[in-house]
Amino acid sequence: MRAVLAIVGMLALGAGASGGVAAQSRPAPLKLAASVNLENKRLVALLNFEIVSPAGEETPETVIVRLDKPLGSGESASLPLSGGKGCQYQARWAFEDFKDAGDVDLCGNAHIVLVD
């Protein structure tokens, strides 16, 4: 059985007006969320979870959040984000029965739900 990473939330990009007013209105720049809300909806414990910024040509991979202790079935946690820039990251997780990874966008409302 394979768990699925689901990103829940809405990003407010702003509604543009029509005509000459549209040229004047611009959506606010997206900002990295202050924290990520993590929910384990699987029947097994989440043993490890981390979010990393991808390594660049001259920059090493950086861990911006890591789960301190296992997260049981049906439990949730709020993890503060620190040191991140931009919106695109990679999440890595390990359950009792398997491990996986996936890309996440952490701008706006960062809510991650792990499900079967």
Q: How far apart are CA 114 and CA 69, in angstroms?
A: 16
Question: Who wins on pLDDT, 88 or 13?
Answer: 88
pTM listed for this prediction:
0.72
Tell me which of 64-68, 95-99, 104-108 is least confident.
104-108
Give the closest residue to 65 by CA, choosing from 44, 39, 38: 38
Q: How high is the pLDDT of residue 44?
A: 97
Q: For residue 102, list its beta bridge partners.
A: 91
Report how many helices (DSSP H) and strands (DSSP E) the chain contains, helices first: 1, 8
Give the closest residue to 89 by CA, choosing from 47, 116, 49, 48: 49
Cβ–Cβ < 8 Å for 105, 54: no
- CATH T-level assignment (fold) for domain 4-10+30-115: Immunoglobulin-like (2.60.40)
